[in-house]
């Protein structure tokens, strides 16, 4: 899954290496689904490739 295809979470990267994931499914009370796990996996892969990424806040 590409980062641009993510819909169930928001993903932000700051210049200081702090990355943030926010669950974004208010109608489902932010319930975790299989798609949500795939999106988080994509974020982790993106962070792994980014040498500047140091911390992930969920």
Distance from the first to the final alpha carbon of the chain: 19
Q: What is the pTM of this model?
A: 0.84
For the chain, the structural domain boundaries read 3-57
Per-residue model confidence (pLDDT) at position 11: 96
Burial track 10-38 (b if 16+ CB lie within 10 A, e otherwise) = ebebeeeeebebebeeeeeeeeeeeebee
pLDDT digits (tens, 9 = 90+) for 25-43: 999 999 999 999 999 999 9
The residues pairing with 12 across neighbouring beta strands, listed in sequence order, are 20
Second CATH level (architecture) for the domain 3-57? 2-Layer Sandwich (3.30)
Residue 37 to residue 17: CA distance in whole angstroms: 22
């Amino acid at each position: 899954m590409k980062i641009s295809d993510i819909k169930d979470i928001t993903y932000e990267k700051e210049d200081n290496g702090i990355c943030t994931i926010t669950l974004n499914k208010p109608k489902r009370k932010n319930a975790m689904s299989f798609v949500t796990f795939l999106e988080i996996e994509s974020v982790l892969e993106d962070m792994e490739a980014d040498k500047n990424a140091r911390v992930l806040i969920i």
